[in-house]
């Protein structure tokens, strides 16, 4: 088990960064595609699916970029979260 030096360190792990990329490149686009293409859901549910997919991609892209920037600068993620 790895030692966590500060509360933001666990967010920088390779597993979490990989999970974010799965959300950005697979889950989010699938949600958008399904929401646009399916006809067996009410319109409001399809809209929720599309918006949720777009927000999933945006949220996880932003977090991935923040973590990568924190790693590059050698600071904890919480420092960058406070600045944005």
pLDDT along the chain (84 residues), means of 10: 50 80 96 96 97 97 88 74 62
According to the model, what pLDDT value does residue 67 have?
Answer: 85
Q: Domain ranges in the chain?
A: 12-83
According to the model, what pLDDT value does residue 36 have?
Answer: 96
According to the model, what pLDDT value does residue 84 have?
Answer: 59
According to the model, what pLDDT value does residue 31 have?
Answer: 97
According to the model, what pLDDT value does residue 4 have?
Answer: 45
DSSP of the chain, one letter per residue?
-PPP-STTGGGGSHHHHHHHHHIIIIIHHHHHHHHHH--SS-HHHHHHHHHHHHHHHHHHHHHHHHHHHHHHHT--HHHHHHH-
């Amino acid at each position: 088990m790895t030692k966590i030096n500060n509360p933001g360190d666990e967010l920088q792990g390779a597993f979490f960064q990989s999970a974010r990329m799965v959300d950005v490149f697979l889950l989010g686009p699938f949600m958008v595609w399904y929401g646009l293409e399916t006809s067996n859901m009410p319109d409001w549910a399809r809209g929720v699916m599309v918006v949720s997919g777009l927000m999933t991609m945006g949220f996880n892209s932003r977090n991935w970029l923040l973590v990568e920037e924190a790693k590059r600068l050698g600071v904890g993620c919480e420092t960058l979260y406070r600045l944005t």
